[in-house]
Chains A and B, each alone.
Chain A
Amino acid sequence: MPDQGIPPTTGTHDPNLLLQAAGVSKSFPGVKALSGMRLDLRKGEVLALVGENGAGKSTLMKLLTGIYSMEEGQFWLEGQPLLVKNPKEAQERGLAIIHQEFNLMPDLTVAQNIFIGREPLSGGFFTKPKALEAQARELIDRLGLPLDPSAKVHTLTVAKQQMVEIAKALSYNARVLIMDEPTAALNDAEVETLHDLIRRFITPSTGVVYISHRMPELKRIADRVTVIRDGEYIDTLDMATVTLDQVISRMVGRAIDTSARPENVRTDRPVLMTVENLSTKDMLSDVTFDLYEGEILGFAGLMGAGRTEVARAIVGADPRTSGTIRLRGKVVNPRNAAEAAKQGIGYLSEDRKKYGLMLGQAVSSNIAISSLADQFSRFGFVNDRAIAKAAADQRTALRIKTPTVAQLAKNLSGGNQQKVVIARWLVKNSDVLIFDEPTRGIDVGAKDEIYHLLNRLAAEGKSIIMISSELPEVLRLSHRIVVMAEGRITAVLAAGDASQESIMALATHPDDATSAASAEHLKEDAR
């Protein structure tokens, strides 16, 4: 229900607010992206901003930072009307935005990245490396970050790269920190570190807007939550009193069961795929497991535990130093993804944009690509009618939201892009589907749809490997759970025996001193 007294056009200013938006509207040809949007960030609070993909969060952010021009409505920053022309100006006004995708130069050092464009210079031309590093160290120490200013950014973990982004943003003396999906690529320990950092940033004159799809986190970090849906403001709720299910139901306009667990454990089924002694040069050692028919096998572990590497090594995308992969008892050992696909193993990468989609091509082309040779062509000539039909069928079956299957893949939301990649492998009729972070960057409603889809596929007899960093997701879907640490399997748990706590314990691998140390590393450093 669009709510309680939206100010008619531009609204009025409330002096207790740090950042305020009122009556903000924005349309694109054919779409009303925002309509009468409001946002009230109080001084000293963490305000969560939630909404499904396409709800208008990123449009709001782009208006705030001047990437889009305002159409209607007004922003205020500490009582002053705020209308910036570009992100740089936003930064200078004290608005720092940490985007989901980092803007770092991997071959430069931490210090160079933080002060890029503002390096201390002598004579306006020659760099002063020592001064730069000292400046960076001062900032890093002030923020209490476990960073080495002289380290090259590409050598850092994702979590530390994010810290560099945050340090860079805060170096402008930001009062408002806006974070878009800051924890999408972080494990639980790293999330805690990030939250500590946010808590330290909060003072009576600063505030944080925290955009996230990861509901349980909001409870831990946010004071209030603003829910938006379909470009409209829905509600702002107190985190202390609201339940997550209440938030989610406002987001999607319907109730979602988040407590579902897999119905049964399917070890009674025949084994479809076996992986034996899989090793790679730098990462995996002796990975061995079975995959049953109609099973969802969850892969849990910390970032860098080697889960993605297992998937890539199975399909031959990365070279194996040893290992045997059998399908129905027959050795297949694919040398590349083309051979894997031919054998019926499909890999859906964690990074849809980089490794999944041809963004500039039509949805239909993206769906058909894997099956062009065997289903959609004769003597090399492509049958576009058959492609259009198959794509339209998938669009209906998976409820892919797109006006037509001729739409370019880049114009779809994350959840729908994911469905396009899934559709590709369904059309290919693969027996084994390896999902790597299938719901990363996808909103709650679409997540739920993906969950139902995975369950349905397993029920239809597909064998699914699901790699996920979200433990609730692993627990909710998996019939069995493989836990990895440091390139090895530390345990295979039946769904009934697993809990978040037991998985985390196995993922940090207390038997192995080095891995336990590295898991605790971030926590230690942060303190």
Chain B
Amino acid sequence: MTYDPTQTTTPTTEAPAAEAVAVNPTNRGQALRQRLQQLLAFGGLAILFIVFSIASPQVFPSYSNVTNILFSAVVVGILALGATLVIITGGIDLSVGTGMIFCGVMSATFITIWHLPVLLGVLMAILFGGLLGAVNGFNVAVNKLPPFIATLAMMLVAGGLALVVSNKAPIYFDAASGYQKISTGTLIDDNFLPGVPLPRNFPNAVIVFALAAVIAIVLLNRTVLGRYDLAIGSNEEATALSGINVKKWLVIIYAVAGLFTGLAGVMISARLGDAQPTGGQGYELQAIAAVVIGGTSLSGGKGSIVGTLIGALVIAVLTNGLQIISVPQEWRDVILGVVILLAVYADQLRARRGSVT
């Protein structure tokens, strides 16, 4: 058992991106710049980690606490993956918080009320998130509503419908004992592949998060969707005149982001063991914060999933670390706000320096 993040120099999540860059010789210059940006964000994360480790050497860097941090990053992190794709187009999605809650309620409806098999219910909840995203995309791309407004409206609609569908009460997954294991079970326990040196006994949610991250990395770096995402964010008009059906792809990108929302809905309801019809508000802003800390530009055309992962971890480490050293909630918010400002300001500085030549 050697899982100790203080000893690893690169997070495990960066490996797939490194591969993607290596086989992508056309984008080496860009990749380098992006790499630098990620390194700086990662450096910030490492510093936070070290500072908290010094402040609380007994508790903070312990294996169980690191597991806690990762566990607590899952929901915001998954939302932020989808948000990254949307923000790269130059858009924004404010509906992911209540959308996630709505998807959780739908998951409970499918499984507890309709008695569908857990796996099918989960799949349908995720697809339901995709549907919400597609509606957002349709409003943005075809009806030409500003993304802020389209998704603000969806935020209210999804939040309201979650209450309507659930009858304003939590729906429990009592009949589906396996559901909670999606999040809190430990697939990789002491009996999993004995003898192989693996970090063990961490919740499955972390595995789901890692898989979702890999999918997002592949989507952005290796697929047509990722290229069109970046192209639309760089210059939507030019992309359209290049013969790309921008409307169609915007709907697809928002829909894919919605799939991540759906997955986050499953993860949050699985963690709690019931689908709460409220409490989603604020998650969308945390997700956006993670994306922005990770160096993705709100004006579009530029961004990375690895950055977003680091951003989500920065938020989780800060929240956890400040809690451990007994900083009250109100001051945690202040500090998180300042961190967001610093991260974006540093990014601006880099961008400005980069554009002089």
Contact = CB atoms under 8 A, between A and B. Distances in A.
B271 interface: no
B163 to A, nearest CB: 38
Interface residues of A, number: 45
A433 B226 CA distance: 27
Contact of B224 (A354, A356, A377, A391): A377
Nearest to B232: A358
Interface residues of B, number: 32
Contacts of B143: none
Interface in B219-262: 222-228, 230-231, 234-235, 237-246
B357 interface: yes
Contacts of B246: 338
Given A338-B245, A354-B237, A372 B227 contact: yes
A362 interface: yes
A58 to B, nearest CB: 14
Nearest to A388: B26
Contacts of B223: 377, 380-382
A408 B351 CA distance: 14
Contacts of B197: none
B26 A342 contact: no
Contacts of B27: 362, 364-365, 384, 406
A356 B241 contact: yes
Given A365-B231, A406-B29, A358 B301 contact: yes
B85 to A, nearest CB: 14
Given A372-B224, A406-B29, A336 B245 contact: yes
B87 to A, nearest CB: 15
A355 interface: yes
Contacts, number: 113
A226 interface: no
Nearest to B301: A360
Contacts of B237: 354-355
A202 interface: no
B242 A370 contact: yes
B296 to A, nearest CB: 13
Contacts of A346: 243
A406 B26 contact: yes
Interface in A301-340: 315, 317, 336-338, 340
A385 interface: yes
A355 B24 CA distance: 26
21 contacts: A336-B240, A337-B241, A337-B243, A341-B242, A341-B243, A347-B241, A354-B238, A356-B241, A359-B234, A359-B235, A360-B302, A362-B26, A362-B30, A364-B26, A365-B227, A365-B231, A370-B244, A385-B23, A387-B26, A406-B25, A407-B29
Given A338-B244, A349-B241, A384-B24, 9 more contacts: A349-B238, A358-B230, A360-B302, A361-B30, A362-B26, A362-B29, A368-B227, A369-B242, A381-B222
Q: Which 4 A-B pairs have the closest CB atoms?
A: A341-B243, A358-B234, A364-B26, A338-B245
